[in-house]
A and B are shown apart, each in its own frame.
Chain A
Amino acid sequence: MTGDVAVLGAGMHPWGKWGRSFVEYGTAAARTALADAGLDWRDVTSVVGADTVRGGYPGYVAGATFAKALGWQGARVTSVYAACASGAQAVSTARTQILAGLADVVLVVGADAAPKGFFRPAGGDRPDDPDWLRFRVLGATNPAYFGLYARRRMALHGDTLEDFARVKVKNAAAGTLNPNARYRKTVSAEEVAASAVVADPLRLLDICATSDGGAALVLTSMEFARRRGVRDPVRIRAVSTVTPTYPTTVPDLPDIATDSAAGAEPQGPGFRASIARAAYEEAGIGPEDLSLAEVYDLSTALELQWYEDLGLCDAGEGAKLLRDGATALGGRIPVNVSGGLASFGEAVPAQAIAQVCELTWQLRGAAGDRQVEGARVGVTANQGLFGHGSSVVAVR
């Protein structure tokens, strides 16, 4: 037995600001994924929902919400919350159920209707919540942290504003080729430079928007896929959901300070790199085996960081890799050929699932104009608030 599960179906609801309920986006994505798999909803033996917030109790109920919308049919149900890693946790849960023999056909769904503007914590006076505290005490929005990382890269590695803009130009160009993307217009470096500063040194076009959207996958056992006559499906080979290792030495959302290294020496490569390392180890591959990567470009500068954390290049070499064209479509290791969050925006519970959808289409050779030629191995990378790792390796 291998640890593989088959991806029989992938689907999305196009991302944007549609002003409708997350339930609508999720069920639309689910129906598309089921049709793609050639399966009926009643064939699904387990549904795993990546949660979103629906005001008040019971807010975090995505699995059952989608199951009800699709029509109660008695399937096993799970709901998971891990902030931006919710989608990866949902994939992980589905895969675990399949490998344990608890379910044969699992529908994974994530969808959200995001608020306009900055993400913010829930209301009330909650000084025991670190996410509430960083807004209350520092006014530190998510872009504030991205600004800190970007400025640090400039000081340490000599990255420039032009390098950051180049990431947006690359991802926007890819997004023009993706019918599910929210933004489908090319962006020039001049347009990035002319956009308003949000959190120095990052500008509006360096930072991803908040979006509505949905994504879904139909995962099955390899045996089920064979019985359905699918001999060579896209397979998920690894899912990394690791936590950081104490002490973390880089300030991370939503913390006000790092751990102290006074009582324990930092071990290993740092959190983001450890997420990738766990995925590679489980999949038995290395960065040299990759055909493409979908990474979490919350900001342009953060995409460069992921190049290094994924081992696509050495520390500090991210901007050079980009400048050399290696990470563009047609390059040695294309990154975010979907258009990335730069073109989609954030729909939190959907985005890690959407990354796997893109890998699926790429590994099938069905990505149209944005196809990475001969794609065989893909990785996703993402990180959930409060210490949730997220990386998926898919192969063909």
Chain B
Amino acid sequence: MGRTRTPVVAGWFTGEGDDFRLLGTRCAACASVFFPREDGLCRNPACAGGELVEVPLSRRGRVWSYTDGRYRPPAPYVSDPELPWEPRTLIAVELAAERMVVLGQGVEGVSVADLEVGMEVEVVPGVLGEEGDDESGTVWTTWQWRPTGVRA
């Protein structure tokens, strides 16, 4: 058996390995892209509204900024209070084609000392945290940003 792998949010990303992609939606009328996805209405006030079509976002982008969290975040962030807190980096990434900035955690082992504004990063699948016991527990999966050329 083992823990069940479950996306932390359904419908925001898909695929494995090099095929892993964030999923947004694009307005068929004005080309605005939305992440997290908008499935109801286009939020461009100048747009009369079109069909919102699911699109994968660019795999690579440039670091807009970055930081980390040296203190354990409060719930609903899942972390084991029994274990010492290990800071995770938080990276804001500019996607050129979508002309937007998307936040995400950095991959494990990447600290703020490894990052620079403007550096290229790519989206990869990762684990946000684990809950419950080995039999019936959950592995929460997510997206993470990894500097290109760095293989964890």
Contact (A260, B100) CB under 8 Å given A118-B71, A148-B90, A200-B67 = yes
Question: Residues of A within 8 Å of B, CB-based: how many?
Answer: 50
Which residues of chain A come closer than 8 Å to B32, judged between CB atoms? Answer: 247, 259-260, 262-264
At the interface, yes or no: B128 with Cβ under 8 Å from chain A? yes
Interface code B59-88, partner A: CB below 8 Å = 1, 0 otherwise? 000001111111101111111000000001
Closest B residue by C-beta to A147: B67
Which residues of chain B come closer than 8 Å to A261, judged between CB atoms? Answer: 99-100
The reply to whether A141 and B73 contact each other, CB–CB distance below 8 Å, is: yes
At the interface, yes or no: A256 with Cβ under 8 Å from chain B? yes
- For A120, give its contact among B74, B103, B104, B105 (CB under 8 Å): B74
Measured as residues with beta carbon below 8 angstroms from the partner, the interface class of chain B is 35 or more
- For B100, give its contact among A127, A147, A257 (CB under 8 Å): A257
Contact (A200, B74) CB under 8 Å given A260-B98, A264-B46 = no
At the interface, yes or no: B20 with Cβ under 8 Å from chain A? no
Closest A residue by C-beta to B78: A136
Contact (A144, B67) CB under 8 Å given A120-B75, A133-B36, A137-B142 = yes
The reply to whether A127 and B117 contact each other, CB–CB distance below 8 Å, is: no
Interface code A308-341, partner B: CB below 8 Å = 1, 0 otherwise? 0000000000000000000000000000000000
Most buried by A among B46, B69, B78, B128: B69
Most buried by A among B102, B103, B112: B103
The reply to whether B44 and A247 contact each other, CB–CB distance below 8 Å, is: yes
Contact (A151, B65) CB under 8 Å given A137-B128, A256-B103 = yes
Closest A residue by C-beta to B36: A256
The reply to whether A139 and B73 contact each other, CB–CB distance below 8 Å, is: yes
Kindly state the separation between the CA atoms of A247 and B30 in the bound complex, as whole angstroms: 12
Closest B residue by C-beta to A123: B75
Kindly state the separation between the CA atoms of A345 and B98 in the bound complex, as whole angstroms: 38
The reply to whether A257 and B67 contact each other, CB–CB distance below 8 Å, is: no
The reply to whether A138 and B103 contact each other, CB–CB distance below 8 Å, is: yes
Which residues of chain B come closer than 8 Å to A121, judged between CB atoms? Answer: 76
Kindly state the separation between the CA atoms of A136 and B142 in the bound complex, as whole angstroms: 11
Which residues of chain A come closer than 8 Å to B98, judged between CB atoms? Answer: 260, 262
Which residues of chain B come closer than 8 Å to A263, judged between CB atoms? Answer: 27, 30-33, 42, 44, 47
At the interface, yes or no: A374 with Cβ under 8 Å from chain B? no
Which residues of chain B come closer than 8 Å to A120, judged between CB atoms? Answer: 74-75
Find residues 104-137 in chain A having any chain B CB closer than 8 Å to their own CB.
117-118, 120-121, 123, 125, 127, 130, 132-137
Which of A78-86, A191-199, A214-222 forms part of the interface with chain B? A191-199
Closest A residue by C-beta to B10: A127
At the interface, yes or no: B92 with Cβ under 8 Å from chain A? yes
Interface SS of chain A:
loop
At the interface, yes or no: A231 with Cβ under 8 Å from chain B? no
Contact (A251, B92) CB under 8 Å given A123-B75, A257-B100, A263-B44 = yes
Closest B residue by C-beta to A199: B67
Shortest CB-to-CB span from A264 to chain B, Å, is: 5
Interface code B6-41, partner A: CB below 8 Å = 1, 0 otherwise? 001100000000000000000100111111100000
Contact (A196, B70) CB under 8 Å given A140-B103, A155-B117, A155-B118 = yes
Shortest CB-to-CB span from A157 to chain B, Å, is: 11
Most buried by A among B27, B42, B76: B76
Shortest CB-to-CB span from A300 to chain B, Å, is: 14
The reply to whether B68 and A147 contact each other, CB–CB distance below 8 Å, is: yes
Kindly state the separation between the CA atoms of A150 and B97 in the bound complex, as whole angstroms: 26
Contact (A257, B36) CB under 8 Å given A135-B74, A135-B75, A135-B77 = yes
The reply to whether B118 and A138 contact each other, CB–CB distance below 8 Å, is: no
Shortest CB-to-CB span from B64 to chain A, Å, is: 7
A sample of 12 cross-chain residue pairs with beta-carbon separation below 8 angstroms, ordered by A number, consists of A133-B36, A135-B75, A137-B142, A139-B77, A139-B105, A152-B64, A196-B70, A257-B102, A260-B32, A261-B100, A262-B32, A263-B30
